[in-house]
Amino acid sequence: MSTMKLAVAGATGRLGRHVVDVLTERGHQVVPMSRATGVDIVTGAGLAEALAGADVIIDVASWHASEQEAATDFFRTSARNLHEYGRRAGVARIAVASIIGVGNATAGFLAAKKTHEELLLSGPLPVRILRAAQFHEFVGQLLDWQQGDVAYIPALPSQLVACRTVAGELADLALDPGEPAAGAPIPEIAGPRKETLAEAAALLGARRGVKVVGVDGSGMPDAEIAAEGGFLPGPHAKLAGPTFREWLDTQP
Ligand X SMILES: NC(=O)c1ccc[n+]([C@@H]2O[C@H](COP(=O)([O-])OP(=O)(O)OC[C@H]3O[C@@H](n4cnc5c(N)ncnc54)[C@H](OP(=O)(O)O)[C@@H]3O)[C@@H](O)[C@H]2O)c1
Binding residues vs ligand X (CB under 6 A): 9-16, 33-36, 39-42, 60-62, 64, 97, 99, 113, 132, 134-135, 138
**Is the peptide bond between 242 and the residue preceding it cis, with omega within 30 degrees of 0?**
yes
**Closest approach of Cβ 83 to ligand X, in Å?**
15
**Residue closest to ligand X, measured at CB:** 13
Q: Which is nearer to ligand X, 99 or 153 (CB)?
A: 99
Q: Residue 191: phi, psi to the nearest 5?
A: -80, 175
Q: Which residue stretches of the chain are H helix? A: 16-25, 47-51, 68-89, 108-121, 136-144, 163-175, 197-208, 223-227, 244-249
Residue 31 · residue 6 · CB < 8 Å: yes
**Closest approach of Cβ 145 to ligand X, in Å?**
13
Residue 172 is which amino acid? D
Q: Which is nearer to ligand X, 14 or 208 (CB)?
A: 14
Q: Which is nearer to ligand X, 8 or 202 (CB)?
A: 8
**Closest approach of Cβ 37 to ligand X, in Å?**
7
**Closest approach of Cβ 186 to ligand X, in Å?**
13
Q: Which is nearer to ligand X, 2 or 18 (CB)?
A: 18
**Closest approach of Cβ 15 to ligand X, in Å?**
4
Sign, CA torsion 230/71/154/186:
positive
**Closest approach of Cβ 123 to ligand X, in Å?**
16
β-strand partners of 32: 8
Query: Which one, of 114, 107, 115, 119, lies nearest residue 131 by Cα?
Result: 114
Q: Which is nearer to ligand X, 122 or 149 (CB)?
A: 122
Quote the CA–CA distance of 6 and 171 in Å, as a whole number. 10
Q: Which is nearer to ligand X, 34 or 178 (CB)?
A: 34
Quote the CA–CA distance of 236 and 225 in Å, as a whole number. 20
Residue 124 · residue 79 · CB < 8 Å: no
β-strand partners of 180: none
Quote the CA–CA distance of 247 and 136 in Å, as a whole number. 8
